[in-house]
A and B are shown apart, each in its own frame.
Chain A
Amino acid sequence: MRRLLRKAITAAAVLMLPSTAVAQIGLTSNVATVALTATKNATLTVTPNASTATLASITDGSNVNNFTPVSLTTSWNLTAGSSVRLIGWFATPAQALVNGANFIPSSKVEGRVNAAAYAPFTGAALGGVGVAGGSLQLFSQAVAAGSFFGARTDQLDLRLDLTGTTTFAGDYLGTLNLQAIVQ
């Protein structure tokens, strides 16, 4: 009787052995990792709604020589900086508008945004943007951590102040450059 009991216990133990090795289901490996980095570069753009501003007829001796207004959208997406500034400038201040050998200097061209006071394009460059004596800061927008990503649209008004000036008949053509800078 005792032998039978021992044999039964032994047999039961042998039968149980495989169960200790079962359950390889759910065996997990180490965790390997891949480090991902995607960088969005800072951007700063100026987009005019028109590439041409015209003044159909110049009036000598007057500052009522208004070009058609231009809408400017300035967009920025930054990681640093304290201000976004928009600069307008003429490459050759003495020859802002050219009619053959006749010139209108940038000092006679005035600009403003959003109905502020007109000012001539006679300022200095700013942060490497612009030309000495031919530039005008059109706006300075403060930015900070909460506003590093933004945009604004402004109406740019341009005029010729020909007070005390007589021009030769003809077409005066020129190029006003617009560029934004973060400072």
Chain B
Amino acid sequence: MRFGRYGIGFLALSAVFAFRARELSAQAQIISLAATAPGTLAVTVTSGAVQTIAGVTDNAVNSFPAPVVIQTDWNVNPGQTNTVDLIAYFSIPAQALVGATTQIPSSRVLGRVLTGTPTTFTAIAQNGIGGVGTAGGSLSLFAVTITGANKNASRTDNLDLQLNLVGFPTLPAGAFTGVLNLRAVTQ
């Protein structure tokens, strides 16, 4: 009866293994999940993207006929964003408007946003902000403080433009063209 002699021993060992198997549960692992919704910032000119003065008058302030209507949309984290700024700028301040032989500098182009920062006509001759704009060829149009209440918001502003030729040398006849850039940046 050798089986009978060792049989009880096997059973006892099995029982021990069974108990050991329960004790060998795996170490709990933590997987941290992180999903980031990137901030968004967009500028759209809804009207007035083409501005024309048909007949410029020398030594006078010439108004562009209609405002540039600008819509700025943002969706940002208020804990990481202080302000949303909108900047208008010319790439080459000395040549804001270019003619055949004569250039009109950005200091002669004035901007005003009644709902923004320059509520009176101001030369586009400031420095850039937050890396946006050009030195001496920029104008801050507004800076809105971001809070939880407006972290995802939009605003529309009218930018009025003028060409100030008071004291400027008489322009040669012809067309003077340029591009005004509009860009928002968070601060």
Contact = CB atoms under 8 A, between A and B. Distances in A.
Helix, strand, loop or mixed for chain A's interface?
A: mixed
Interface stretch (A18-26, A124-132, A162-170): A18-26
A117 interface: no
A4 to B, nearest CB: 12
Interface stretch (B6-14, B15-23, B112-120, B165-173): B165-173
Contacts of A14: 32
Nearest to A13: B32
Interface in B63-111: 64, 68, 70, 72, 76-77, 80-82, 96-97, 99, 104, 109
B173 A42 contact: yes
A68 B6 CA distance: 151
B97 A38 contact: yes
B174 A25 contact: no
Interface hub of A3, A31, A36, A79 (most chain B Cβ within 10 A): A36
A78 interface: yes
B88 to A, nearest CB: 8
Interface residues of B, number: 60
B148 interface: no
Interface hub of A23, A27, A30, A149 (most chain B Cβ within 10 A): A27
Contacts of B163: 38
Interface string A1-22: 0010010001001100100111
A17 B34 CA distance: 7
Interface in B142-181: 159, 161, 163, 170-181
Interface string A48-85: 00000000000000000000000000000111000000
A31 B183 CA distance: 5
Given A33-B45, A34-B48, A35-B49, A28 B77 contact: no
A36 B183 contact: no
A22 B32 contact: no
A24 B80 contact: yes
Contacts of A32: 43-45, 49, 70, 181-183
Contacts of A25: 80-82, 130, 186-187
Nearest to B62: A38
9 contacts: A3-B27, A21-B34, A31-B181, A34-B180, A38-B52, A38-B53, A38-B56, A39-B56, A40-B56
